[in-house]
Every structure is written in C-alpha cells, then in structure tokens.
Structure 1
Amino acid sequence: MTPQAKIAILQKLIQIPSVNDHEAAVADYLTTLFAPYPQATVERLTYAPGRDNLVVTIGQATGPRLGLSGHMDVVAPGDTTAWHHDPFGGEIVGDQLFGRGASDMKSGLAALVVTMLEFLEAGTPLPGSVRLLATVGEETGEYGAAQLTDAGYADGLAGLVIAEPSGLDNVVYTARGVIDYKVVSTGKSSHSASPENGINAIDNLMKFYNAVGPLMAQHTKTDPVLGGLLHNVDLISGGEQINSIPAHAELMANMRTIPAYPNQVIYDELERLVAQLNQQPGVDLALSYSYPEEAIPGDPNAPLVQLAKQVSDQVCGHDTHVVGSGGANDGAEFLRAQGDFASIEIGPGNDTSHQADEYVDLPEYLQAVEVYEQLIPVFLRQVAHQ
C-alpha cells in the first residue's frame, strides 16, 4: 500500500463525524476495507442503534493471539469558529493532517487497520492471530470495550496493544483508574422566612462535602509512576430561588485511582460515609457512579513492553520511554477478560487531542504502521516458542 493510500484511509475516517455516537458508520467503512479478504473474519456487536463495535480477526486459528484496540468515537469539536480547519475535513497542510480525532485516536485506529490490511495483501504468515477490537463509547465511559469483554472477544489474548496517542516515543504500561460519582441531597422546601418548616438540602450536601475531602486525603500511598490518589469535587448545584429553602442539591466528583487502592476500597468508604450521614435527622443523601474504571497495573519489564520499546527505538531512531498514564482507557475493561496478559498503549498523536485544530503528524502516522508491522510478528513468534 502506498503512503498516499494509507493517508487516504485516515482522511476518510476523519470525515466520518462519529461524535460520541454514529460509530456504525466507521465500522461500515472499515468493513469495506476488509471485504476483499475472505481470510479475515469480520464481526459486529451492536451496543445501540447506530453504535456497532467491530471485531476483525486474521491469521492462524492455532497459536497465540494479540489484541489490537482503538476506539471509533470522538469528542465534539466544540466552538467551530475556533478552528482554522474543518473539524471533519481531514485537511492536509504540509506534513500535518487536521480534524477531530486526528490525534485521539483515528490515526492510531487507521494505523492498526492499515497494518492488518498490509499483512493480508502480502500474505504475511503469522504464527498466531491478530484481533482488532474497534470500540464505541470510549470517550464517554469505555462501554464498547466492556461489552466486547463481557461477550468474550478478549478472552485468551497473549497481549493487547492500544493505539492511544502516547506518541511513538512512549510505551504506556500502567494507567490510573477513574471514579466519577454523584451525591444527591433531598430536603424539603419552605419559605426562607420559615426555615424550620423545611430541610435545607444544600446544608446536608455540605456535610458530605466537608467530610469527603479529609477522608480521601487519608490515602497517602503513592505509585512510583502514577503518583497518588486524586479526588476533586468539580460540580455543585442546588436550590430553586433566593427566598426558598432548597429541596434539592447535588455534587459530582472525579477521582483518579492507582493500583494501591482498588476501586472497591473507595466505593466502600464513600458508601459508609453516606450511610453515617443519613443517620442524622433530616439527612437524605443518595450516591451513584458513572462508568468507573479500575487502574491498570503493569510490569515495565513485561516482554510486550520491552519489545515495543525496542521496535520503536529501531523504527523511529529515538529512545522510547516506558511510562504511566494519568488517563483511563479501554484497557481497564479488556483486562477483565479471561487470561493474564500485558496491555500497552503506543500510538501516533500529540497533546492537541480534544482541542481546536487537532492534528497528527503524517510521518509519525506512517511510522506507527512500521512499528506495528514489526512488533506483531515478533511478539507472536516469541509467545509461540515459549
């Protein structure tokens, strides 16, 4: 495949506006790319109307299987007047391709797809198989990866490569988890001139707010790569009008967890705090979670990690760093699958993700294909000979 053809695939992906939805259109396009190759097994798993996960498997049925993962959704472009390029145009200026998802992470997804297509086109013998797990909903909760995991598509993997935009000079082997939670306080409204007739939901919510900070601050363990546990209350709302005692108030908080504190530890503490406060007269607090993900533990010396570093060093001519990530990704869901395997992130991209004029450097995108094409056969051979 020529460099121009590889770039054209990425352009087409950028031109599909799969903003937190409509991933089936991306799956449709990718399916057409694999259609000429009957040796590729293509499967769809629908999450919701217009939202299809895509699974493509190539190679030998016997032998180890390496998973490749990328998500098909993108975040909204935001204020389009802040863009100098059409967010869904795939415009090329010099060596840069602009558009929503160019960095996060349609360039990584395209590089994985091109790698598999080149294996098929060349008839490259693989000592095992490769499975693409293209997911929906990563940007809003990793629920496509969760669905694929529950359906068994990640069972028995020998390793997993996620093409998130780490930059090819980084191999990410461990990542923070996330807990987004909401606390709703229900009170009783009354005229503010007669507060004794009501229950102030804001006052009761603040009891939780004032207690949860010191409670989370007690988690003083730190990870040598990821750092400590992070807890931030980011949204608070409540009340109806200035002269009414508020009957409703709520807050939302974001936590970034580390392997030393599994999410269940945090759940237990939050639920215990809410239960204690609810024993006070008039307090009615309800706790809920949104798409929590566990932290991803990892071994920097795992064979997949070290091989990815070695290959990237050779292909790109730089010193690839073995690092951790502060953000959650689909790997947290896939690691629930049956089996014990290392998960890494390595993919093209930069810090323009989620910003106006998001872009990817095309030389890095093309290098990513080279990295994957060298990494995959070597890893499968190593595992097959163990």
Structure 2
Amino acid sequence: MTQMTPQAKISILQHLIQIPSVNDHETDVADYIASLFAPYPDAKVEKVPFAKHRDNLVVTIGHADGPQIGLCGHMDVVDPGDVSAWSQDPFAGEIVGDQLFGRGASDMKSGLGAIVITMLEFLEQQTPLKGSIRLLATVGEETGEYGAAKLTDEGYADQLAGLIIAEPSGLDNVVYTARGVIDYKIISTGKASHSAQPEKGVNAIDNLMKFYNAVGPIMAKHDQTDPVLGSLLHNVDLISGGEQINSIPAQAELMANMRTIPAYPNQVIYDELEALVAKLNAEPDVQLDLSYSYPEEAIPGDPDAPLVQLAKQISDEICGHDTKIVGSGGANDGAEFLRAKADFTSIEIGPGSNTSHQVDEYISIKEYLQAVEVYKALVPAFFDSLD
C-alpha cells in the first residue's frame, strides 16, 4: 500500500487544467478521470451523457450496504478571455513558486482533483470504509448546473447521506447555505411602421417598459432579510430593441438576474412575474412572453448540522486556521442535487483563491494538497458520526 507523491497529485491537476473544457468538451475530462480509476476493479465507473462531448462522470467506491457520501466537482471552466493578458498560458498548468496557474486552477479543477485523489488513495491504501463514496463530476455548472440536474433526474443522488462540493470556498470557509438564482427574459412583440406614422405600428419598446417600470416595485416588496445571505436581489442587466432610428420597433427584450433567499421560494417569484405578464397582456396591443434559464432554488442549510461542524473541526486541525461557517451569494450544484429523494446536508469546502474567472487564475499548491488531507479525514469522520 503506497501513498501518492505530492508531485503525482500536482501532475493530475496540471493534466486536468491542460484539457480546455470551456463550457464544453467535459467528456475529455471525464475520460481522463475514468482512466485514473481503471486500475481498480472495485471502482464502479459510469459516464452519464448530457450532450455530445458533454458526459457527466459518476464513480462509486466502498461498501454499498452502508451510508453514501457524495463528493462533487464540475469539469467545465469559463473562457480565459484575452489570452495575451495572461502572464502564463491558461491551459498549461505552469508553476511559479507555490502558485499553479491556469483556467480552472481555482474554479474548480483543484477541488475536482483533490476529491478524485482522495478516492484513489482510499482505493490504493485499501482504507476500510463504513459506507460508499460517490464522485459526481458534472458538466455545465458555470452556465446553469445542468449536469447536476441530469444526475439528479437519473437518481444518482437518491441514496446520499451527505454531499461535499469542492467549490473554491477556501479551506477556511464551510459554506452551508447559498442563494438561489432566477434568470428570466421578457420578449415584447409589436408591429413595425414608419416613425412618421406611429399609429400604424405597435411600439415594442414602450410595451417592454411597462413591464420594466412595474416589476421593480413588485420585487422591492420582498423586504425580508436572511441573517446570512442578505436580501433578495433583482437586477435588469440586458435590454435591446428596435431595428433602425426611423422605424417603430417591432421587437424588444430584457433579461434580468435574481438572487433569491430561502424565505422566498422560486415559485413565489414565478407566480408574481407570470401574474404581471398576464395583466399587461390583457391591455390592447401588448404581447409579452416570459421564459426562464436554469433557475436554482436557494439552499437553506443548518450551521449546526454534523457535516458542517465536522468540516470546520477537521479543516481547523489540518490547516491550523479558524474555519468560518458562512453563506454564499452564488448558486452551486447542490441546489440541483437537493431535489433528490434523499434528505441530506450539502456543503461547499474546497481549495481556491480570489482569482476565479479572472486573468492569471491560480491555486496555492499547499492548499490543494491540504484539501486532499481534509477530505481524507472528513469522509471517515462523517461515516462515524452516523453510527
């Protein structure tokens, strides 16, 4: 029984970063991870397709008769943007001192690599486990958590007793609650005419502005504040419309982003938006169409849940810091997995820096290696807590 060397662990992360899975081609990442588990016949490896070149990966190890814990990481990364602005190649995994650079180094191939290595070491060292561990490696987290949605719909989270998401919280933070998100679009359809004869047309922008002016005050009535997450947020971030300066516009649209809190389930917001659209569409010549993009529920969470407290204690011990128990303003895959049949706690704790989605994204190699030790201690401790 051998333990993987630090250099071998670093090489796995470099290889993950060298696969350019920019909102696509996660299958290449899944294939690489699957190859790491190939020497172990006790590992059950499953690819779960979402779309062409976009396969989720599920790897299950341990005792099927005991409780199951999920270790989750997403395989996609955001676009690196202007590559010339980087001081290092974003897809090389280059190392300078303690920093390993690359797109996804923080968000979140370091977390993904750490949970994969954790499972590989359990297998290599034949660690006795009181239950099973399920790797849930997902596609499309950055653009809507649709890999996690697919796995949830297929039942891969129905047996979970707990879920650890290796998002880049930093090992000094355990995230137990998170905002939800609703992205919505309103399309206003009018009728074009010459601007010298506006009475022959229907101004789509005017009708869109009826919605715009009404929706803000409606959302502002949601004034309850979550003690950790804050208040519900509603922002109209994109507006477009019209064809040319001397034509009455036949089409206009807006897109808005909402960050929800547990006090206001998404259905409450849907009902209000749909009621407003129906009211305006009852007016003459108004035609508004509403659609949503991958909405996610807020994650309520319990700061005193055993998995939360264990994660704090173990990270404190291994890393020598005071781990904070916090909330997150962003949605994560947990929002989808919590739709599963099982009742379980979902947390985020993972290696990360404040460079996610930025130029010269990097991860501290020390923190990456510490993350493996945190997960290796946390999984057995969680099983023990269920005795």
Q: Which residue of 1 aligns with 2:45?
A: 42
Q: Could you tell me which amino acid in structure 2 is paired with residue 84 of structure 1?
A: S
- Any unmatched runs of 5+ in structure 2? none
Q: Structure 1 stretches (4+) deviating beyond 2 angstroms?
A: none
**TM-score scaled to structure 2, two decimals?**
0.99
- Following the alignment from structure 2 to structure 1, what is the Cα–Cα distance between the partners of residues 55 and 79? 19
Query: In the TM superposition, what whole-angstrom CA distance separates every residue of 1:233-283 from its partner, at most 9, and x where no partner exists?
Result: 000000000000000000000000000000000000000000000111111
> Within 2, Cα distance between the matches of 1:117 and 1:342?
24
Q: Distance in 2 between matches of 1:61 and 1:159?
A: 15
1:257-311 Cα shifts (integer Å, max 9, x gaps): 0000000000000000000001111110000000000000100000000000000
Identity rate of aligned residues, in percent? 79
Aligned twin of 1:261? 264
Q: Does 1:329 align with 2:332?
A: yes
**In the TM superposition, what whole-angstrom CA distance separates every residue of 1:68-96 from its partner, at most 9, and x where no partner exists?**
00000000001111111101000000000
Paired residue for 1:6, among 9, 22, 37? 9
How far apart, in 1, do the equivalents of 2:27 and 2:159 lie?
26
Question: Which residue of the other structure, out of 280, 296, 300, is the alignment partner of 2:303?
Answer: 300
Query: 1:354 aligns to what?
Result: 357
Deviations 1:308-367 (A, max 9, x none): 000000000000000000000000000000111000000000110000100000000000
2:220 pairs, out of 211, 217, 220, with: 217
2:202 aligned to 196, 199, 202, which one? 199
Which residue of structure 1 lines up, in the alignment, with residue 130 of structure 2?
Answer: 127
Partner deviation per Cα, 1:93-139 (whole Å, 9 max, x = no partner)? 00000000000000000000000000001000000010000000000
Q: Structure 1 CA distance, aligned partners of 2:47 and 2:162? A: 22
Q: 2:69 aligns with which of 66, 69, 81?
A: 66
CA distance in 1, matches of 2:156, 2:78: 26
User: Secondary structure of 1:38's partner?
Assistant: coil
Map of 2:319 onto structure 1: 316
Question: What SS class does the counterpart of residue 160 from structure 2 fall into?
Answer: coil
1:380 corresponds to: 383
Superposed, 1:149-164 pairs within 5 Å as: 149-164=152-167
Which amino acid is 1:157 matched to? Answer: L
Distance 1:17 1:261 in 2: 38
Give the TM-score of the pair, scaled to structure 1.
Answer: 0.99
CA distance in 2, matches of 1:312, 1:41: 29
Question: Which residue in 2 is equivalent to 1:338?
Answer: 341
Partner of 1:288: 291
Gaps of 5+ in 1: none
- Deviations along 1:144-187, one digit per CA (max 9) or x if unpaired, are 00000000000021100000000000000000000000000000
RMSD across aligned positions (CA): 0.4
Aligned partner of 1:83: which letter?
W
Residues 1:271 and 2:274 aligned together: yes
Query: How far did 1:378 drift?
Result: 1.0
Report deviation, 1:382: 1.6
Shift of 1:62: 0.8
**Equivalent residue letter for 2:133:** V
Of 209, 215, 237, which aligns to 2:240?
A: 237
Residue 10 of structure 1, CA deviation: 0.2
What are the residue-to-residue correspondences of 1:149-188 with 2, within 5 Å? Answer: 149-188=152-191
How many residues of Structure 1 are paired with residues of Structure 2 in the alignment? 384
CA distance in 2, matches of 1:34, 1:53: 15
